[in-house]
Structure 1
Amino acid sequence: MADIKQAICYNVVIVMFVVSITSSAKDRLVLVQAIFRHGDRSPVSTFPNDKHRSYWYRGLGQLTKEGMRQEYNLGKLFNMRYGEGEFLSSRYINSEIKVTSSDFDRTLMSAYCVLSGLYPPKGKEQQWNPDLNWQPIPVHTKPQKEDFIFSLAACPRYQALVQDYRGENTMSNFVATHQDLVEQIMNISGLSKDSWSNIADILYCQYVHNLSLPEWESVLPFNLVTSLRDESASYFLPTQETTKLRGGPLLKEIIENMKRNLNTDSNRKVYLYSGHDTTLIALMQILNVFDRRHPSYSACVIVELWKSGKNEMPFVRILHKNETNNNINILKIPGCIKDCPFNDFVSILANSIPKDIKEDCKNENRSSLLGSSIYNNRIGVFVLICIVILLVIVLAILIIHAYRVSRVTAVYQTVPTEDGYL
């Protein structure tokens, strides 16, 4: 009997030891940064013969009720994955989370809807209105002309580069190869050749709200509209410099947030960024993980920072959700494994981060630098010509002088004596 008790105690000790080793070796999540697109919206523009323009009673470019539901569900997904005490505290604590949005109605409203799903009020302490299952949580933003993370308006250099590649974009190619179809589109829409390029977005918004019309379905069916949107997304950033200008500032902030978390005692656990399709395209392209598909409404890229249970070494895991369902995939950046060591992550992407985005975006500086370079080159050429002329003059003087010396020597020779020269 004593032997049996001793064996049981021995096995319990072994089990406890194994459990302790297993628990201590478990990887630990330390920071989450999620960048998501706004929800379903009305089109940002219309066309003269648009029969559905009055349908969008909230106005153009505005979040719809479906978009609100999509963002609320995204917040619930965050709650299931990180909330309820799993990673975040079970109640909202302002020091744990920071939310940033672009300065657009649809992105600000999307951020609030996400927070509504992530942080339903808990208990009397947070339930300020018994008839309303919601609590206010701050969202930060900047004016578009000061915002280098979300806004296209903040970077004139980027705008100039895109203008240079205007002839290479998808719509220009589409016009060149589908002249007859373009003529039909202009006849139906009432648009001119110079202003019809947003037609795919307008029709997409109408199709997803079941507002399609027979004349459009025969000319631009839904599958062709989605293909055009995917193609436009693929060529949104045509060069390495445009990718760096658009995606670099956000990537820089993501890395700085991780460094701050690793090097300080910061309580911050989550950063949320409410942006646009362009925000996600730029980030995924600069990470080299873009699948060339147009980001859907409420699509999301999540950058998780972990610490290994074995040696506490930090690593980065990138997740992607591009559908309105909850399917999440792990993305692998080229040159690293899926759980990419933090130092490797930083090293691989070092050249993709601008040193001074404000200076890089000053297109007039590039012009002045170019003008200064041309001016300096002209000065250099002028100085070189002057030096050549001076050398020619000096050489001519030396030749003349040598000639005169030779003449004097020939006229005034030394008179010899019998014993030789004096």
Structure 2
Amino acid sequence: MAATRLKRCRLKIIIILLIVVFLLYFYLQKEYGSELTSQSPSKHHLERISEQLLFQEQTEKFHFHNKSSATSPSGALEYCNFPNPNSLKEGNGHYHRELGTHGYKLQLVQMIIRHGDRTPLHTLADRPNPRISCKFSKKEKHVHWIVGKFISRMQSEDANENFEFLHPYPNQPYCRQSYLTPQGAVQTLLNGLKAKYKYIDQLDLFGQDFSERKIIVKSTVYPRTYQSANAFMFGFLSDFNARVKIQKARTDLCSEKDSGLRCYCSGLEKYAAPLKNMRKMSKSSILAIMNFKKKVASIFHMDVTEIKSLSHVFDTLMVRACHSLPFPCNKQRNSCVDKKMLDTLWSLLSTDMQHNYFYNENLLKTHHLRFHPLLVEMYLRMKNVTKRSSRTNFVLFSGHDITMTPFLMLLGIFDGKWTPYASSLALELYSKEEESKIHYYLKIIYNGADRTKDLKFCRGLEMCKFKYFEQFVNTHLKIMGLNDYISECFS
């Protein structure tokens, strides 16, 4: 009898232990993801302890943005570019009037986008970054009805073998380094929907003859850009239930087939070295940067020489700002990262970018040469429209900040600020019949703002004559003191 009770007792204990082990395993899988199986539990435990010691986080969380607010985020939070479904209503039904395009017919849109919100590319002195879930939460699903429709569609899509078997949308327990987050997918999804409202619903881009052949989509071979292209196009073509094949692209978006030019420019090496006579940054700016680095070093308990780049610091901190996570503190020294410090960093980075933009002639020459093939490709596609020999109406290029910023510099409309997540630059080609002839005009839209008048080659016109753009394409290298592309790159 006693032996039977003992056996039952042992059986209960074993069952309880099995349940505890199962629950613990389920929790760890949810917390850390599938990569847990390839790493020892002790390493994860040490990582957790290390993060707690190095980042003694504040009990008060920083919620800098209010999504119900009508005002846009300021300072460094501009970079986050939080998903805003209310922006879809702005200008709805009034695009011709707002853009001054009454009487014009939209013929072609070529758009460059930067991918949406991602996890950091860098770590700061090997300190771990916060883990961000790569599963859509209720928060993302409730942003807009199209998000649920997008998730449902993407769940039935297979990984793309042409894109190294990348998944079409964020769907992992947590986002790996430099991966698109669900928030980033929502950003580009809403941008695609906004483009649909403008170009398809209001400006009748496709007319009554929609076809997938009228669309070209190109993306660099990274999860964050490929998934952003998927999200954007799902929003853009939501009424057509269409899927467009995405073509692979280089980081500089150069296509030998579409531009007729060779992509690898060996002549760029001539301009890689900084100019000896480049104007030095002001002493006050240099001092401000040094003081900021010292403050960061103090908070992170590291040597100031370990801080190689302010952009790396910004990259590691913005994941916290863009996801309302608490910032690092050093309680022993009574110092913390806060919004003021983040805005200071944003300002210092802008100062550095503007200094390079205005005074580093070699950098500008590099951008003009590297992105000349993309400029030519866009021009040739527009030229084919003017000759009525093109069926293409919409082109999407999904790239990076290092794609968009140089192209903005080339056009002469870079504002000196790090390109925010999910930014977009659109080159719109319009036609208008005047005196029995068809004339063509160009508009440049950056993040929803009309920048056409700011382009020097447009001569202050709100509707830029296509021939002025043609002249710019043919002369921008010479204006920069460069010879033609072939002789600069391959002679």
The 2-side partners of 1:342 and 1:82 are apart by: 20
- For structure 1, the residue ranges without an aligned partner over 5 or more in a row are 1-24, 127-134, 322-326, 366-422
User: Map of 1:15-94 to 2, 5 A cutoff?
Assistant: 26-48=103-125, 50=127, 52-55=129-132, 57-84=174-201, 86-88=204-206, 93-94=211-212
Instruction: Indicate which of 216, 220, 225 corresponds to 2:345.
Output: 225
Task: Indicate which of 301, 315, 320 corresponds to 1:206.
Answer: 320
In structure 1, C-alpha distance between the alignment counterparts of 2:232 and 2:280, rounded to whole Å: 34
Other-structure match for 1:393: none
Quick check: 1:32–1:303 contact (8 Å CA) kept in 2? yes
Query: What TM-score do the two structures reach when normalised by structure 2?
Result: 0.57
**1:59 CA displacement:** 1.4
Aligned CA distance change for structure 1 residues 58 and 90 (closer, same or farther; 3 Å):
farther
| 1:114 alignment partner, one of 232, 236, 239 | 232
Say which is worse superposed, 207-216 or 163-172, in terms of deviation: 163-172
Report the Cα offset of residue 91 of structure 1.
8.4
1:317 to 436, 443, 451: 443
Post-superposition Cα deviations, 1:88-117, rounded to whole Å, max 9, x if no partner, equal: 257862211101112222111111100010
Q: Are the equivalent residues in 2 in contact too, given 1:34–1:301 (CA < 8 A)? A: yes
Aligned residue pairs total 320
- 1:232-251 superposed matches below 5 A: 232-235=352-355, 237=357, 238-239=360-361, 240-251=364-375
Mark the CA change 1:272 to 1:168 in structure 2 (over 3 Å): closer, same or farther. farther
Could you give the per-residue CA deviations for residues 214-249 of structure 1, whole angstroms, max 9, x where no partner exists? 444269712112213323443555324123124322
CA spacing shift, 1:292–1:184, aligned 2, 3 Å: closer
> 1:203, 1:225 within 8 Å by CA — same for their partners in 2?
no
1:282 shift after superposition = 1.7
Distance 1:30 1:179, change over 3 A: closer
Aligned letter for 1:329? Answer: D
Query: For the structure 1 residues 63 and 360, does the alpha-carbon distance in structure 2 shift closer, same or farther, using more than 3 Å as the test?
Result: farther
8 A Cα contact 2:413 2:451, kept in partner: no
Among 395, 401, 420, the residue aligned to 1:271 = 395
CA drift of 1:280 comes to 2.1
Q: Return 5+ residue gaps in structure 2 as ranges.
A: 1-101, 134-173, 257-262, 330-334
Matches within 5 A, 1:114-263: 114-120=232-238, 122=240, 126=241, 135-142=242-249, 147=254, 157-158=267-268, 161-164=271-274, 177-189=288-300, 190=302, 192-193=305-306, 195-197=308-310, 198-211=312-325, 212-214=327-329, 215-217=335-337, 221-235=341-355, 237=357, 238-239=360-361, 240-263=364-387
Instruction: Say if 1:201 and 1:229, in contact at 8 Å, map to a contact too.
Output: no
Cα distance change of structure 1 residues 278 and 90 upon mapping to structure 2, 3 Å threshold? farther
| 1:146 to 1:269, Cα distance in 2 relative to 1, 3 A | closer
> Distance between the aligned counterparts of 1:110 and 1:173, measured in 2?
40
Counterpart CA distance in 2 for 1:52 and 1:172 is 33
Give how far 1:78 is off. Answer: 1.2
C-alpha distance in 1 between matches for 2:231 and 2:352: 28
Higher mean alpha-carbon deviation, 83-92 vs 103-112, is at: 83-92
**Alignment check: 8 A CA contact 2:354 2:416 kept:** yes
**In structure 1, what is the Cα distance between the partners aligned to 2:284 and 2:271?**
18
Identity across matched positions, percent: 20
Distance 1:223 1:176, change over 3 A: closer
Q: Are 2:376 and 2:473, in contact at CA under 8 Å, matched by a contact in 1? A: no
Distance 1:264 1:82, change over 3 A: same
Deviation at 1:206? 2.2
Contact 1:29 1:306 survives alignment (8 Å): yes
Q: Give the aligned partner of residue 338 of structure 1.
A: 462
Find the structure with the greater CA-based Rg.
1
Shift of 1:185: 2.2
Q: Distance in 1 between matches of 2:189 and 2:218?
A: 17
Please give the secondary structure, in 1, of the residue aligned with 2:344.
helix
Supply the distance in 2 between the matched residues of 1:28 and 1:355 (Cα, whole angstroms).
Answer: 36
TM-score, with normalisation over the residues of structure 1?
A: 0.66
Where 1:308 maps in the other structure, the secondary structure is strand
